[in-house]
């Protein structure tokens, strides 16, 4: 008798081996029809998987995240199937699932065109409607290599040849197409109903520029059409909000080839930067941080001691002088340890909190650079807390509370918490890692935050909490982080005098709220579609005169506002007032102040708020009071 235990705690008994599909059918015909895969003892398997002993089983449908991933993976194979139908000479390589979709790389004698993409998507739809069964078979490695070579799929053969010789490999077949894959896959292609091919790109085989340039086809796939429609709408919105386009049109910043991955800040963009930095500086001051500044370049020996040279060297810019090797700092932590070590500290001084707007450089691959979101030079709102083991929990709880407040001030209230645990490549003892991971878990539980685990995603020196925020159109951005580190203080010789007069090693907590200021500002620009809230806006108000007779009055209004601390400008161009209003509205100025003879004579101003809202006529003092209230409330 075989016992299959289900998620609700019940069990089903079978006299002989059964497939996942048969178990689903025994529960109900609706579940059998919806089943995409199964999870047997925590492992995803096909619905055809045979159960021959006692197991725990859950049926996976398109309502489950794993089910959607399987739909996408199967759609990637459907894409390859369609390409082979239309272009038999094309060779298939790899086709993984990515966020919100999938891609597949092909080798073909000529570039695919947008028209080809339309034809491929049409063929995919035709194949899916055939509802051909997807079947799995297992072959010895060498037999699989011989098979793919026999059908001219040299890339697949090369992939399999990299697998150890004594291992078997699994192949999936649908209709006339067979592909290499671990699976699982949908039971039949008829499950694949909602998909769209998105774009073409180039990609080197195995990511090596010495290899052939392949053609990558990106696509998206969903369980429901309304989900795909929402995603496509989000992409349209994202394109409108693209910070690179807005950076140019709003005169905030630009990029150019002479400085890849680095930003040329214009005056208006730098004003936004200054507001963000000054706000964070107040956060430092109000929460017990000492602001410090470390050197940009440090000797290789220090990076070796910290562990970065062995674990991060490929991402570091290096230089030489007088037979010494230096590295441009990719992070601020070793420098902060040196500041800590410059004096002997007592346990009475701990926790000791350092904060720095530290400029860092990382040698990111050119292909990964993406506007302000992925750069080579950036500034972190970086902080390091030196504390005792007994203080870790309180510091982590306080940091999470502070981060929530900061994000709320910037307009973000939806936060996702993930705890990234020890990676394979790491420094420090398992005992230290246990303490660090447990402290982070307990801190979130004490803060009342639900969280997910990300096994193996911690930094090489310690586990971390990753704080991810959701923007106005539903995109997720991982920004803040806190990391508990037992290793670096020990490696770099940091100590404190304990209550019993012995020397002990402090724990080092690495923390950042915004992360990269450049990236965070890019997120802000896209979140607000360039229409920054008043406290962040590079220009608070622009005063527009109707004719030359009001020019002097318009300038006096601007001077009054500037003296009161507002960022105001005047537009005295000899243009129609409607043109000037339209021009500054496109530039997303929060307040447009119009002055004509009537306003001049009454010592008032006519005010328009962003979005064409007519606020009527008021005194300059009344307007400034309104604006000050808006700035203070950070609306």
Return binding residues for Zn(2+).
333, 384, 510
3-state secondary structure 10-50: CEEEECCCEEHHHHHHHHCHHHHHHCCEEEECCEEECCCCE
Contact 122, 83 (CB under 8 A): no
Distance, CA of 455 to CA of 443 (rounded, Å): 18
Contact 146, 154 (CB under 8 A): no
Question: Which of 26, 216, 249, 266 has its CA nearest to residue 102?
Answer: 216
Tokens of 424: 């394979």
Distance, CA of 391 to CA of 288 (rounded, Å): 15
380 is catalytic: yes
266 is catalytic: no
Angle between helices 551-563 and 620-633 (to 10 degrees): 40
Distance, CA of 237 to CA of 526 (rounded, Å): 9
Among candidate residues 91, 215, 380, 483, the one labeled active-site is 380
Q: What is the DSSP letter of 374?
A: B
Annotated binding site: 333, 384, 510
Contact 168, 139 (CB under 8 A): yes
Q: What is the DSSP letter of 296?
A: S
224 is catalytic: no
At 103, phi and psi to the nearest 5?
A: -145, 165
Residue 560 three-state SS: helix
**For residue 622, what are the CA distances in angstroms to 157, 241, 385, 438, 614?**
75, 33, 45, 54, 15
Please provide the size of the chain in residues: 635
Among candidate residues 464, 540, 580, 588, the one labeled active-site is 464
Half-sphere exposure of 88 (CA within 13 A, CB side): 2
Element (H, E) at 71: helix 65-86
Among candidate residues 336, 510, 519, 580, the one labeled active-site is 510
Distance, CA of 118 to CA of 197 (rounded, Å): 8
Q: The tokens 């021959």 sit on which residue?
A: 52
Among candidate residues 46, 62, 329, 333, the one labeled active-site is 333
333 is catalytic: yes
Among candidate residues 77, 185, 243, 362, the one labeled active-site is 362
Element (H, E) at 168: strand 168-174
Among candidate residues 73, 308, 384, 608, the one labeled active-site is 384
**Other C-beta atoms lying within 10 Å of the C-beta of residue 290:** 13
Torsion of CA 513, 517, 523, 526, to 10 degrees: 150
3-state secondary structure 434-500: HHHHHHHHHHHHHCCCCCEEECCCCECCECEEEEEEECCCCCEEEEEEEEEECCHHHHCCCCEECCC
Query: Which residues neighbour 315 within 8 Å (Cβ) at sequence distance 6 or greater?
Result: 330, 362, 363, 364
Starting from the edge strand earliest in sequence, which strands make up the sheet with 134-140, in order? 134-140, 168-174, 177-180
Distance, CA of 325 to CA of 310 (rounded, Å): 15
How large is the greatest C-alpha to C-alpha distance in the chain, in angstroms? 98
233 is catalytic: no
Q: The tokens 């539903």 sit on which residue?
A: 474
Contact 142, 165 (CB under 8 A): yes
Element (H, E) at 614: strand 613-618
Q: What positions carry a catalytic annotation? A: 333, 362, 380, 382, 384, 464, 510
């Amino acid at each position: 008798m075989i016992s299959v235990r289900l998620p609700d705690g019940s069990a089903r008994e079978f006299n002989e081996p059964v497939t996942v599909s048969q178990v689903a059918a025994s529960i109900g015909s609706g579940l059998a029809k919806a089943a995409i895969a199964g999870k047997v003892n925590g492992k995803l398997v096909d619905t055809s998987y045979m159960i021959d002993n006692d197991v725990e089983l859950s049926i996976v449908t398109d309502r489950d995240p794993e089910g959607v991933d399987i739909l996408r993976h199967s759609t990637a194979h459907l894409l390859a199937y369609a390409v082979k139908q239309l272009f038999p000479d094309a060779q298939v390589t790899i086709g993984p699932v990515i966020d919100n979709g999938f891609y597949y790389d092909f080798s073909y004698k000529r570039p695919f065109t947008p028209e080809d993409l339309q034809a491929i998507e049409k063929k995919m739809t035709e194949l899916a409607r055939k509802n051909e069964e997807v079947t799995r078979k297992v072959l010895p490695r060498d037999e699989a290599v011989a098979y793919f070579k026999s059908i001219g799929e040299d890339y697949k053969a090369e992939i399999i040849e990299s697998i150890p010789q004594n291992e078997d490999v699994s192949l999936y077949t649908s209709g006339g197409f067979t592909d290499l894959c671990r699976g699982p896959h949908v039971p039949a292609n008829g499950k694949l109903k909602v998909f769209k091919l998105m774009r073409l790109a180039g990609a080197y085989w195995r990511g090596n520029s010495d290899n052939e340039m392949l053609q990558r086809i990106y696509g998206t796939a969903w369980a429901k059409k309304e989900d795909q429609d929402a995603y496509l709408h989000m992409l349209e919105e994202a394109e409108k909000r693209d910070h690179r386009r807005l950076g140019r049109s709003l005169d905030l910043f630009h990029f150019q080839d002479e400085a890849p991955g680095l930003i040329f800040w214009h005056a208006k963009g730098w004003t936004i930067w200054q507001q963000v930095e000054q706000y964070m500086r107040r956060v430092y001051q109000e929460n017990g941080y000492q602001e410090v500044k470390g050197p940009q370049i440090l000797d290789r020996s220090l990076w070796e001691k910290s562990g970065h040279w062995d674990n991060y060297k490929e991402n570091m810019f290096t230089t030489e002088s007088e037979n010494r090797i230096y590295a441009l700092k990719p992070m601020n932590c070793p420098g902060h340890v040196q500041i800590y070590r410059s004096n002997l500290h007592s346990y009475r001084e701990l926790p000791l909190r350092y904060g720095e707007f530290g400029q860092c450089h990382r040698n990111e691959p050119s292909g990964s650079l993406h506007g302000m979101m992925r750069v080579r030079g950036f500034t972190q709102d970086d902080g390091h807390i030196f504390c005792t083991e007994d203080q870790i929990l309180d510091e982590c709880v306080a940091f999470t509370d502070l981060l929530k407040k900061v994000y709320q001030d910037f307009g973000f209230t939806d936060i996702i918490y993930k705890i990234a645990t020890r990676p394979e490549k790491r420094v420090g003892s398992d005992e230290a890692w246990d303490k660090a991971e447990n402290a982070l878990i307990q801190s979130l539980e004490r803060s009342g935050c639900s969280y997910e685990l990300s096994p193996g995603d911690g930094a090489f020196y310690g586990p971390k909490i990753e704080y991810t925020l959701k923007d106005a159109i539903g995109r997720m951005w991982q920004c803040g982080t806190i990391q508990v580190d037992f290793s670096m203080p020990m490696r770099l010789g940091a100590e404190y005098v304990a209550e019993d007069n012995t020397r002990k090693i402090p724990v080092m907590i690495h923390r950042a709220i915004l992360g990269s200021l450049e990236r965070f500002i890019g997120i802000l620009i896209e979140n607000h579609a360039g229409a920054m809230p008043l406290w962040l806006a590079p220009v608070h108000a622009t005063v527009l005169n109707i004719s030359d007779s009001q020019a002097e009055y318009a300038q006096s209004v601007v001077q009054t506002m500037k003296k009161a601390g507002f960022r105001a400008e005047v537009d005295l161009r000899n243009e129609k007032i409607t043109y000037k209003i339209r021009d500054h509205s496109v530039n997303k100025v929060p307040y447009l102040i119009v002055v004509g003879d009537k306003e001049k004579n009454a010592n008032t101003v006519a005010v328009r708020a962003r979005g064409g809202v007519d606020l009527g006529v008021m005194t300059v003092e009344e307007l400034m009071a309104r604006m000050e209230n808006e700035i203070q409330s950070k609306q």
